[in-house]
A and B are shown apart, each in its own frame.
Chain A
Amino acid sequence: MSLFRKFIKNRTAFFGAVVIAGIILAAIFAPVIAPYDPYEQFFEGLTLEGAPKPPSANYWLGTDLLGRDLLSRLIYGARTSLIIGVVANGVAVMIGTIFGVLGGYIGGWIGGAIMRFTDLMMAFPALLLAIALAAIFSPSLWIVALVIALVNWVWVARIIYAQTKSLKESEFIESVRSIGAAWPRILFIHILPHLIPTIFVWSTLGISTTVLLEATLSFLGIGVRPPTPSWGGIIFESQSYFLDAPWLVFFPGIAILLLALSFNLVGDTLRDLLDPTQRGRG
């Protein structure tokens, strides 16, 4: 059975893929799908006392503290989550792969130094480091993505390092070297293709971590600046009011959970399918 068929047959992975596709489509076609402008503050979006309105026929998911339509803000917020999640993870996987391959292939004191540096980075709690960095650079969409990438690459580096190292010591690489292949050939033609499944898995699995970290930073008030809608930011803004307006926490919370969960389910299934050492353990 082809990998694709196996993937489709796995119901949880299929569910994840459908949710991800749905959220991506919603983000791309936000202006078409969203019932209202996400920035517009509606006069009738607030009660007479000035409180947000619960879900109704007019505002399907209710309104926020400023009388804006929550559904529209969620749909536009998907852009923030996806862009930061995908970009941050992409950069993290890239940095991690470069450092991991260098550390594993060069070895010696340079490789050792690179790996000691990842040890060092791992000792920092990711969120606190991201907070410190975000406090230094005032956060915009790209800065937040970069900050998240800077704290997340170490995990990828560790895994790629271990794989590169064991590949380098394997017999087929030794035989390639013995017939006189130069290092670029060994590295790019013989080692790199073996790393692609891992890179592929982390390109999906890692997004769930970056999505959660972005939401958490926004919730702590150091993510993307308002009024740009972001799921964590919506909860941050409504926090003090959530006992009276729980929908303002519940719906964005579900959105974050669904997106992170879907990338986890898809990534985990990919790992099972692509990693031969994991086969039969599931």
Chain B
Amino acid sequence: MSTLKMLIKRLAASGAIIIGITMIAFLLSFLIPADPVRMLAGRSATQETVESIRHELGLDQPLPVQYIKYLNRLAHGDLGRSYKQKTEVATLIWSRLPATLWLMAGAIFFELLIGIPAGIYASAKRGQRGDKTAMVLSFIGVSAPQFVVGLLLLYVFANLLNLFPLGGYGSFLHLVLPAVTLGITGGGWYSRMMRSSMIDVLQQDYIRTARAKGLGEPKVVLVHALRNAVLPVIAMIGLDIGFFMNGAVVVESVFGWPGIGQLAWQAIQVIDIPVIMGVTLVAALSIVIGNFLADLVMPLIDPRLRVR
């Protein structure tokens, strides 16, 4: 019962945030200096045509009315039309989504592949040279600009060594370098979280018991401690969508990866506001959903977090 109550509360909070996001997106689109009516009507349009288009689009109505209509359109999956591409924004985003989801899966794979072993290693060598080296490396990963990492990987592994294609989309080989780029920069955070999670677990009584039984240290760390320490780190993926969305814009533009990040970047170049707003809205939505899922999963993993 109480879990259900908490769930409803979280859902309500997420709903409120989504409403707030739509408000901000709506207001932002009004701050833009360019007049969408003029853009649609073209330069030679008469004042009358402009007015009639304005009326047709409902842009002559009061703001609250327009906002309600905007919400209504959103509820029907209508994100507006791109100024430049003359297509529905929703269609554009929908067609780009699979590429971004692939990239995301690859990025998460490499983030965990780099972060988890590094974190385990650092916690096992806590305070020693190995720990310090691993943590400095994690800081380098976190501080490295994604576009530089991406371009350098392209230079070395695609240009010099010819192991991977020079950007583009289609096969598994195309996915490796962009995913590794995000994996290196995101893996730094995961290694730090993994390390502190491991250190917490390694101080618990049951670990002392395991050691007292005479279990070898590798077994204590890799079997007994790891199982408890790794789950909260994995649940962090839900909180990581924001990092990923930022990264997607950069990495997709470096590698010519046709996802929604590239869509946003192309829209920036021509100031195609409906597309920028659409992508921002979709990204914000996925962040809210990711946070909600993380909230949902955490208590399942760690019973101590359950509300009584």
Residues of chain B within 8 A of A242, CB atoms compared: 151, 155
Q: Which B165-197 residues have a C-beta within 8 angstroms of A?
A: 166, 196
When C-beta atoms are compared, the residue in chain A nearest to B21 turns out to be A123
A-to-B contact residues, CB < 8 Å: 12, 116-117, 119-120, 122-129, 131-133, 135-136, 208, 212, 215-216, 219-222, 232, 235, 239, 242-243, 246, 249-250, 252-253, 256-257, 260-261, 264-265, 268, 281-282
Closest Cβ–Cβ distance, residue B173 to chain A (whole Å): 18
Sample of 8 further A-B pairs with CB below 8 A, known A128-B245, A133-B28: A116-B16, A120-B21, A123-B284, A127-B249, A219-B145, A260-B143, A261-B139, A264-B139
Q: Is the CB of B145 within 8 A of A256?
A: yes
A242 to B262, CA, bound (A): 20
Q: Is the CB of B268 within 8 A of A268?
A: no
A52 to B246, CA, bound (A): 31
Q: Is the CB of B246 within 8 A of A126?
A: yes
A235 to B273, CA, bound (A): 26
Closest Cβ–Cβ distance, residue A118 to chain B (whole Å): 11
B-side interface residues, number (CB < 8 Å): 51
Please indicate which of the listed interface residues A117, A232, A250, A261 has the most CB atoms of chain B within 10 Å of its own CB: A261
Of the residues B154, B265, B288, contact of A220 by C-beta under 8 Å: B265
Q: Is the CB of A125 within 8 A of B127?
A: no
Q: Is the CB of A12 within 8 A of B132?
A: yes
Of the residues A12, A116, A124, contact of B136 by C-beta under 8 Å: A12
Closest Cβ–Cβ distance, residue B66 to chain A (whole Å): 18
Q: Is the CB of A128 within 8 A of B17?
A: no
Known A-B contacts A12-B136, A243-B159; A125 and B271 likewise in contact (beta carbons under 8 Å): no
Known A-B contacts A125-B284, A128-B264, A219-B250; A261 and B147 likewise in contact (beta carbons under 8 Å): no
Residues of chain B within 8 A of A136, CB atoms compared: 28, 31-33
Residues of chain B within 8 A of A250, CB atoms compared: 152
Known A-B contacts A125-B242, A257-B140, A281-B199; A222 and B268 likewise in contact (beta carbons under 8 Å): yes
Q: How many A-B residue pairs have CB under 8 A?
A: 136
Residues of chain A within 8 A of B24, CB atoms compared: 120, 124
Residues of chain B within 8 A of A120, CB atoms compared: 17, 20-21, 24
Of the residues B143, B242, B268, contact of A257 by C-beta under 8 Å: B143
Main SS at interface, chain A:
helix
Q: Is the CB of A125 within 8 A of B246?
A: yes
Q: Is the CB of A212 within 8 A of B287?
A: no
Q: Is the CB of B143 within 8 A of A132?
A: no
When C-beta atoms are compared, the residue in chain A nearest to B147 turns out to be A219
When C-beta atoms are compared, the residue in chain B nearest to A131 turns out to be B268
B-to-A contact residues, CB < 8 Å: 13, 16-17, 20-21, 24, 28, 31-33, 127, 132, 136, 139-140, 142-148, 151-152, 154-155, 159, 166, 196, 199, 242, 245-246, 249-250, 253, 264-265, 268-269, 271, 273, 276-277, 279-280, 283-284, 287-288, 291
Residues of chain B within 8 A of A282, CB atoms compared: 127
When C-beta atoms are compared, the residue in chain A nearest to B126 turns out to be A282
Q: Is the CB of A221 within 8 A of B269?
A: yes
Residues of chain B within 8 A of A222, CB atoms compared: 268
When C-beta atoms are compared, the residue in chain B nearest to A212 turns out to be B145
A257 to B206, CA, bound (A): 42
Residues of chain B within 8 A of A268, CB atoms compared: 139
Please indicate which of the listed interface residues B24, B148, B159 has the most CB atoms of chain A within 10 Å of its own CB: B148
Residues of chain B within 8 A of A246, CB atoms compared: 152, 155
Residues of chain A within 8 A of B279, CB atoms compared: 128
Q: Is the CB of A264 within 8 A of B142?
A: yes
Residues of chain A within 8 A of B17, CB atoms compared: 116, 119-120, 123
- A-B contacts, 28 of them at CB < 8 A, read A116-B20, A123-B242, A123-B287, A124-B21, A124-B283, A124-B287, A125-B242, A125-B246, A125-B284, A126-B242, A127-B246, A127-B249, A127-B250, A128-B245, A128-B249, A128-B264, A129-B280, A131-B249, A131-B264, A136-B28, A212-B143, A216-B145, A219-B147, A220-B249, A242-B155, A249-B151, A265-B136, A265-B139
Q: Is the CB of B145 within 8 A of A215?
A: yes
Residues of chain B within 8 A of A281, CB atoms compared: 196, 199
Closest Cβ–Cβ distance, residue B93 to chain A (whole Å): 13
When C-beta atoms are compared, the residue in chain B nearest to A16 turns out to be B139
Closest Cβ–Cβ distance, residue A126 to chain B (whole Å): 6
Q: Is the CB of B143 within 8 A of A124?
A: no
A127 to B196, CA, bound (A): 28
Q: Is the CB of B268 within 8 A of A221?
A: yes
Residues of chain B within 8 A of A265, CB atoms compared: 136, 139
A261 to B268, CA, bound (A): 29
Residues of chain B within 8 A of A124, CB atoms compared: 21, 24, 280, 283-284, 287
Of the residues A135, A216, A257, A260, contact of B32 by C-beta under 8 Å: A135
Q: Is the CB of A249 within 8 A of B242?
A: no
Residues of chain B within 8 A of A215, CB atoms compared: 145, 147
A219 to B143, CA, bound (A): 16
A117 to B283, CA, bound (A): 18
Residues of chain B within 8 A of A260, CB atoms compared: 143-145
A252 to B152, CA, bound (A): 12
A268 to B268, CA, bound (A): 35
